Amino acid sequence: MELNSKKLQRTSRIVNYSISIILCVFLILLANRIIGDLDSTVKRPYPENYEDKAVLALLEKDIEKQNAELENLNSKKETVEKTIAAAKENYANEKQSFDNWLQTRKTLGTPDKDQEVIDRANKLDGFYKVEQEWRGELYTLQSKIDETVKQKQEIQKSVSNEQSEAYKKYEKALKRYDLKVFLIRLVFVVPVLALGIFFFVRYRRHKFYPLYFGFTLFSFYSFFFGLVPYLPSYGGYVRYSVGVILSVGLGYYAIKHIRQFIDQKQAELKISTQERAQKIQAVTAEKALENHFCPSCGKDFLLRQWEFPSAKTTETGAYKFVTTFCRHCGLELFKNCNNCETKNFAHLLFCSSCGTKIAANENSQAE
């Protein structure tokens, strides 16, 4: 018995998809737990696992010593700079005083002050010498600081080299780890994917298809999200190659089936309209009438305003917008009931007015 209720069909479709999605979600959660446990059997490497701890510890101690030395030298440098600033200020003050006194002496013209000029000049030279001595000390400290900084940079370079060597070892170990994880996932995912494809191909019209479809969705999720991201890269060659293979495979499959469908339709249109009418199933006829297309060639059979024949039509109501025969392939679309003369879609089983079986479909098979 065929159920023609659109509401029931819509509800059934929603229920079926819901079952498929719910089953897929729980399968994904279960697979994630299983794959997570499988991944944990392989220990993930880290960069610090490949560092020479003893060598790095000695280098770190040397850096700490250099830092302490730098701190001490910088402290001394700061003290010397303050002393130089004070000596410079003293010299400037003394020179200003000397210049003022000398100008006064020239004005007054007192020659008995020559010895005092010499004494004050010597005193001024003493301030200048003190400043220069401290500047020499500052230069010595700056040389030591530069040398210490250079030594620290050499030690840091040794640390960087050690860490760089360790990172190279880590990268090699990480590639081996990724390959192991990929192989583990490959062993798990490939059978799941093969089974999902088998279910999709073999049980597409099974009464429990929603369950098989849910497993198929899960298998594709496992492949694209559980396996593909873990493909070894090797500069992108592997991943891009897999992408090319998948594109070619899916493209070939799609083109092949589209081509087969087109050839099948072209072959169907070559046989007589009576034979084509007998092969049309009830479900196809219902969809064709609902969407107003020919069940044989798939073309729209509704007439547009400018497509009406020049002769006046005697049809009334909705039937005036359709043709009795398909304009594209010649298939009979509408015919009158032999019992009540009501016009019906020729490929449905029974008359919509009296319930009598339509003669043209006596030999047709319902799906």
E strand or H helix at 296: none
Evaluated on CA atoms 196, 197, 200, 203, the torsion sign reads negative
Say which residues have a Cβ less than 8 Å from residue 361's Cβ, sequence separation at least 6. 277, 346, 347, 348, 349
Cα atoms found within 13 Å of the Cα of residue 333, Cβ hemisphere only: 24
Cα distance between residue 359 and residue 351, in whole Å? 10
More confident residue, 329 or 115: 329
Tokens representing residue 74 in the block: 């910088």
pLDDT for position 1: 38
Q: What is the mean pLDDT of residues 41-64?
A: 86
Among 15-19, 67-71, 81-85, 112-116, the range scoring the smallest mean pLDDT is: 112-116
Contact 285, 345 (CB under 8 A): yes
Q: Helices 114-202 & 209-226, crossing angle to 10 degrees?
A: 150
Q: What is the mean pLDDT of residues 81-102?
A: 78
Contact 124, 95 (CB under 8 A): yes
- If pLDDT is split at 50, 70 and 90, which confidence band does 332 have? confident
Calculate the alpha carbon distances from 28 to 22, 40, 81, 199, 365 in Å: 10, 18, 71, 17, 41
- If pLDDT is split at 50, 70 and 90, which confidence band does 220 have? confident
How large is the greatest C-alpha to C-alpha distance in the chain, in angstroms?
Answer: 158
What is the 3-state secondary structure of 241-269? HHHHHHHHHHHHHHHHHHHHHHHHHHHHH
- Mapped onto helix, strand or coil, the DSSP state of residue 293 is strand
pLDDT for position 311: 45
Q: What is the mean pLDDT of the chain?
A: 78
pLDDT for position 110: 55
pLDDT for position 276: 64
User: Which tens digit of pLDDT belongs to each residue from 229-251?
Assistant: 777 766 566 667 777 887 888 88
pLDDT for position 25: 92
pLDDT for position 54: 87
User: Which tens digit of pLDDT belongs to each residue from 140-199?
Assistant: 888 888 898 998 889 899 888 888 888 999 988 888 888 888 888 888 888 998 998 888
- If pLDDT is split at 50, 70 and 90, which confidence band does 263 have? confident
pLDDT for position 26: 92
Tokens representing residue 317 in the block: 């109501």
Q: Is residue 22's pLDDT more than 90? A: yes
Percent of the chain with pLDDT over 70: 79
Q: Helices 114-202 & 53-108, crossing angle to 10 degrees?
A: 150
More confident residue, 290 or 64: 64
* Residue corresponding to tokens 């298998």: 219
Q: How many helices (H) and strands (E) does the chain have?
A: 7, 2
Cα distance between residue 142 and residue 80, in whole Å? 11
Percent of the chain with pLDDT over 90: 4
The pTM (predicted TM-score) of the whole model is 0.51
Among 16-30, 119-133, 230-244, the range scoring the smallest mean pLDDT is: 230-244
Tokens representing residue 251 in the block: 């493209």
Cα distance between residue 1 and residue 35, in whole Å? 46
| Strand spans (E) along 136-229 | none
pLDDT for position 4: 45
Q: Is residue 211's pLDDT more than 50? A: yes
pLDDT for position 262: 78
The DSSP bridge pattern shows strands 334-336 and 343-345 to be: antiparallel
pLDDT for position 21: 92
Based on the number of CB atoms within 10 Å of its own CB, is 110 exposed (0-12), middle (13-18) or buried (19 or more)? exposed
What is the 3-state secondary structure of 304-358? CHHHCCCCCCCCCHHHHHECCECCCCCCECEEECCCCCCEEECCCCECCCCCCEC
Say which residues have a Cβ less than 8 Å from residue 200's Cβ, sequence separation at least 6. 212, 213, 216
pLDDT for position 117: 65
More confident residue, 115 or 179: 179
